Amino acid sequence: MKVIEVTNLIKIYNESEVKVNALNGIDLGIEEGEFTAIVGPSGSGKTTFLNMLGGLDMPTAGEIRVGGTDICGLSSSQLIDFRLRNIGFVFQAYNLIPVLTAIENVEFIMQLQGTPKQERETRAKELLHQVGLGDRMNSRPAKLSGGQQQRVAVARALASKPKFVLADEPTANLDSKSTENLLDMMEELNRKEQVTFIFSTHDQRVVHKARRVITLEDGLVISDERK
Amino acid sequence: MMIAVAWRNVWRNKTRSLVITIAMSLGLASGIFYMGFYRGMMDQRIQTAIATEASHIQVHHKSYLENPDKKFFITQVDSTLDAIRKETGVNAVSSRIILNTMIQSAATGSGVKITGIVPENEKLVTNLYTKIAEGSWFKDGKRNPIVIGRKLADKLKVKLKSKVVITLQDMEGNMTAAAFKVEGIFETSNTAYDENCVFVQKADLARVMVMEENACHEIAVLLNDNALLDQVNTELIGKFPDLDIKNWREVMPEVYLLESSFNLTMFIFIGIILLALLFGIINTMLMAVLERTKELGMLMAIGMNKTRVFMMILLETAMLALFGGMWGILLGWLLNFWFGIQGIDLGAWSTAYESMGFDTLIYTHLPLSVSLQIAWMVMVTGILAAIYPAIKALKLKPAEAVRIDM
């Protein structure tokens, strides 16, 4: 079953009266449970494409359907709510809320969803155990290593029970050991829980783990390889 | 959790938040202390005006206040006094004959307001007898004693037992004069009053003026409580339609102006302080928002809607303002409490203050309701200060705010 369907996606930026064609007509679909890496050189359109999939930016033309809903037709407030309920985000620089502890960071998104306190506490603890941080629940981000912070970010992304997780260069700031641990953990979540992961990355270790690799160049898909 | 996040965000940059908090506390504490000082001074002036000068309510002939001529007197005073005494809330009454005339000593003369009183009744209504600095308050029962103010005594160059001559026109229009002996010299905190008012026995003045005994120009009424003023005033107006009943606010509008303008003065004074602090808070919150661009963008990206972002910034600002505000109010209250007991001695400026009728030892005082009004003003300031930084936060576009990471 397709989680995402992208049809003829075009994005043109009009900056300083110079038109920049970021995406030039992308057509692809992402199936539930995929572990996909989007690769390509700088300027290939990876970031723009991920922003479109995450509903953070609107295309100039084309259609993006997430679970059957055309997200390009949603208003900005509908989009915020859509993101809250359907998409998990993992950022390159972790972007946790520094004043909250690990467990509070995970709970925060569930509170935005209106989940009752008891339920969100139980789920947050469960997720932190799953990502191997059962003993660091009450630590604030500043007291955690980069790898641990990114694990909290993954737990946070999963807390809202999203249809898929968008991870943008999730290993860019991590050392090789932390990268390996993080990838193993995400792969396990993908296999066991059928969580759909979509990465944008330059990191060959991520590409190596991915079961589908989509390569972009000049805003077009130039290869789509399944392992 | 939103409240916890907002509170922790306030203390993310401790130095910055402390600086604005201390600025707020000191600004507000000074404002509240000044208002306590002003209120204390005003209350004392009103208290003096009621206790020494005007009492709570004054009764006159219908035409007397418009034209204070001796011919506009109240008749059947005894029965009127009895009727007023029976009113609920009335503590004491005193009748007075009043005349504006000349007083002369061997050295010089002066224009004065001479008031003929029944000493034992006047004692119940005003506290002038407690202000006697020299001599006594109509004690020796001799004929024609007079009690004058220190300022007038100095001006006339008279002492106790000195003779002064009052020149006046009697009820039949004949010029007459009578000698009085200084029995007491009083000193109030109002030097203008001390210079212009003298007191004699009502019977003595009536005799000199050839005025019937059961008549007077003024009846002063002292109530048990100033809070009963409007109620008793209205009842007396209904009971004595032929007489002119006025309360101290009408008799001394300049004193009432102090009372009625207090709230306006406070709003303006505290308002100016808060306006200055408003810009300080806006600056602090704007810095807090701008340095959290990425974080706010991330929050919007993961699904925090605009109302929640707005509320979070609003909460942070309101907490900052309230925290500083509460310390300021507490500090101001403590200062008022301390100086409400110790008093502030303005003796160095006594000439200026006493000429306007103010005491020179001021006891600060600020009612709780005023502190609550100030707390409310602080809250409004906090909310107003939040608007601009919160709007700035709402204008962030999540994709752009987190782009540096994407």
Instruction: For B155-166, write each residue's pLDDT tens digit.
Output: 999 999 999 999
Average pLDDT (B107-124) is: 92
Report whether pLDDT(B405) > 60: no
Q: Are B332 and B33 in contact (CB under 8 A)?
A: yes
- At B354, the pLDDT band (50, 70, 90 cuts) reads low
Strands laid side by side in the A197-200 sheet: A87-90, A164-168, A197-200, A35-39, A212-217, A220-226
Average pLDDT (B362-384) is: 86
Q: Do A83 and B406 touch (CB under 8 A)?
A: no
Report whether pLDDT(B189) > 90: no
- At B401, the pLDDT band (50, 70, 90 cuts) reads low
**A190 falls within a domain:** yes
Q: Do A80 and B298 touch (CB under 8 A)?
A: no
**A51 falls within a domain:** no
Q: Are A182 and A199 in contact (CB under 8 A)?
A: no
- Given B294, B295, B406, which is nearest A50 (Cβ)? B406
Q: How far apart are CA B281 and CA B275, in angstroms?
A: 10
To the nearest whole Å, the CA of B6 is away from the closest chain A CA by: 9
Query: Which one of B9, B13, B302 would you mutate to disrupt binding with A, by most A Cβ within 10 Å of its Cβ?
Result: B302
Q: Does B405 touch chain A (CB under 8 A)?
A: yes
Q: Do A56 and B298 touch (CB under 8 A)?
A: no
Q: What sign does the dihedral B328-B331-B337-B338 (CA atoms) show?
A: negative
In tens, the pLDDT along B279-296 reads 988 998 898 888 888 888
Which residues are bridge partners to A213 per DSSP?
A: A37, A225
Residues of B in contact with A158 (CB under 8 A): none
Which residues contact residue B295 at a Cβ distance below 8 angstroms, ignoring those fewer than 6 apart?
Answer: A95, A97, A98
**A170 falls within a domain:** yes
Q: What is the pLDDT of residue A21?
A: 85
Q: Do B304 and A112 touch (CB under 8 A)?
A: yes
Average pLDDT (B193-222) is: 92
Q: Do A109 and B302 touch (CB under 8 A)?
A: yes
Residues of B in contact with A113 (CB under 8 A): 303
To the nearest whole Å, the CA of B288 is away from the closest chain A CA by: 14
Q: What is the pLDDT of residue B357?
A: 63
Q: Are A108 and A100 in contact (CB under 8 A)?
A: yes
Could you tell me the CATH number of the domain that includes residue A139? 3.40.50.300
In tens, the pLDDT along B232-264 reads 999 999 999 999 999 999 888 888 888 888 888
Q: How far apart are CA B185 and CA B131, in angstroms?
A: 8
* Total of domains in chain A: 1
Cα–Cα distances (Å) from B243 to B16, B83, B216, B217, B322, in that order, read: 66, 13, 12, 11, 54
Q: Do B5 and A92 touch (CB under 8 A)?
A: no
Q: Do A84 and B303 touch (CB under 8 A)?
A: yes
Q: Do A99 and B9 touch (CB under 8 A)?
A: yes
Q: What is the pLDDT of residue B145?
A: 95
ipTM of the complex: 0.88
β strands within B188-241, DSSP E:
197-201, 218-223
Q: Do B302 and A93 touch (CB under 8 A)?
A: no
Which residues are bridge partners to B317 per DSSP?
A: none
**A189 falls within a domain:** yes
Q: Does B312 touch chain A (CB under 8 A)?
A: no
* Beta strands at B57-61 and B243-247: parallel, antiparallel or unpaired: antiparallel
Alpha helices in B49-144 (DSSP H): 77-85, 119-125
- At B82, the pLDDT band (50, 70, 90 cuts) reads very high
- Pick the residue from chain B with its C-alpha nearest to A104: B1
Q: Does B5 touch chain A (CB under 8 A)?
A: yes
Average pLDDT (B192-212) is: 92
Q: Do A156 and B301 touch (CB under 8 A)?
A: no
Token pair listed for B112: 């004065």
Residues of A in contact with B4 (CB under 8 A): 104
Q: How many CB pairs under 8 A join A and B?
A: 79
- Given B8, B304, B403, which is nearest A99 (Cβ)? B8
From first to last of its 227 residues, what are the pLDDT tens digits of chain A?
Answer: 788 999 999 999 886 677 888 899 999 999 999 999 999 998 888 888 998 999 988 899 999 999 888 998 899 889 999 999 999 999 888 889 999 999 999 999 999 999 999 999 999 999 999 888 889 999 999 999 988 998 899 899 989 888 899 998 888 888 888 888 888 888 888 888 788 999 998 888 889 889 999 999 999 999 998 88
Q: Does B8 touch chain A (CB under 8 A)?
A: yes
Residues of B in contact with A95 (CB under 8 A): 294-295, 298, 402, 405
Which residues are bridge partners to B57 per DSSP?
A: B221, B247
In tens, the pLDDT along A163-215 reads 899 998 888 888 888 888 888 888 888 888 788 999 998 888 889 889 999 99
Report whether pLDDT(B353) > 80: no
Residues of B in contact with A85 (CB under 8 A): 303
Average pLDDT (B114-122) is: 93
**A64 falls within a domain:** no
Which residues are bridge partners to B104 per DSSP?
A: B109, B165
Task: Please give the mean pLDDT across all residues of chain B.
Answer: 88
- At B195, the pLDDT band (50, 70, 90 cuts) reads very high
* Beta strands at B218-223 and B57-61: parallel, antiparallel or unpaired: antiparallel
Report whether pLDDT(B356) > 70: no
Tell which residue, B133, B86, B142, B94, has the closest CA to residue B115.
B94
- At B402, the pLDDT band (50, 70, 90 cuts) reads low
To the nearest whole Å, the CA of B401 is away from the closest chain A CA by: 10
Interface of A with B (CB under 8 A): 47, 50-51, 54, 56-57, 77, 80-81, 83-85, 89, 91-93, 95, 97-100, 104, 107-109, 111-113, 156, 160, 168-169, 200
Q: What is the pLDDT of residue B406?
A: 36
Q: How far apart are CA B293 and CA B209, in angstroms?
A: 88
Token pair listed for B326: 């509460």
Helices first, then strands: H and E counts in chain A:
7, 10
Average pLDDT (B204-208) is: 92
Q: Does B406 touch chain A (CB under 8 A)?
A: yes
Q: Do B402 and A83 touch (CB under 8 A)?
A: no
Q: Do A91 and B308 touch (CB under 8 A)?
A: no
Q: Do A47 and B306 touch (CB under 8 A)?
A: no
- Pick the residue from chain A with its C-alpha nearest to B301: A56
Average pLDDT (B145-153) is: 95
| Residue-number span of the structural domain to which A136 is assigned | 37-43+75-226
Average pLDDT (B269-277) is: 89
Residues of B in contact with A169 (CB under 8 A): 405-406
Q: Does B12 touch chain A (CB under 8 A)?
A: yes
Tell which residue, B299, B401, B307, has the closest CA to residue A57.
B401
Q: Are B401 and B296 in contact (CB under 8 A)?
A: yes
To the nearest whole Å, the CA of B289 is away from the closest chain A CA by: 14
- Given B298, B302, B406, which is nearest A47 (Cβ)? B406
**Element at A7 (helix H, strand E):** strand A2-15
Q: How far apart are CA B374 and CA B265, in angstroms?
A: 13
Report whether pLDDT(B404) > 50: no
Alpha helices in B96-217 (DSSP H): 119-125, 150-156, 191-196, 202-209
Residues of A in contact with B302 (CB under 8 A): 83-84, 89, 109, 112, 156, 160
**A101 falls within a domain:** yes
Q: Do A80 and B402 touch (CB under 8 A)?
A: no
Q: Does B14 touch chain A (CB under 8 A)?
A: no
**A200 falls within a domain:** yes
